[in-house]
């Protein structure tokens, strides 16, 4: 199992860098992961991350559509906050597995 050091915490990750233990996540670690992804976290980012973590812990499927329905941001803003591959980046920063819908 691979490990990465974020904000002084050793985090267990898979070969793509996604957390294998979501309990190792906290906001300080999230900020460090986001920095590696070229993102500086804002309150909007954190609201989305908390939404994703909540959906994941409930066993709900994660999708861009669910982000749009969250009431936090619309799809266009989601793409602006997490440029490139928004759902992949957001879930990595949120400390949860990459959704099966992401390639």
Catalytic residues: 102
- Transcribe 19-46 into DSSP letters: BS-GGG--HHHHHHHHHHTT----HHHH
- Identify whether the C-beta of residue 93 lies closer than 8 Å to the C-beta of residue 37: yes
Half-sphere exposure of residue 103, counting CA atoms within 13 Å on the CB side? 0
How far is Cα 59 from Cα 40, in angstroms, rounded to an integer? 28
3-state secondary structure of 5: strand
Widest CA span of the chain, in angstroms? 37
């Amino acid at each position: 199992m691979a490990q990465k050091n974020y904000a002084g915490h050793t985090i267990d990750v898979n070969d793509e860098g996604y957390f294998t233990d979501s309990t190792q996540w906290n906001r300080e670690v999230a900020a460090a992961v986001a920095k590696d992804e070229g993102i500086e976290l804002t309150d909007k980012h954190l609201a989305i991350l908390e939404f994703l973590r909540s959906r994941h812990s409930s066993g709900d499927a994660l999708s861009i559509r669910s982000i749009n329905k969250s009431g936090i941001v619309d799809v266009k803003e989601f793409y602006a906050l997490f440029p490139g591959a928004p759902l992949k980046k957001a879930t990595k920063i949120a400390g949860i597995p990459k959704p099966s819908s992401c390639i």
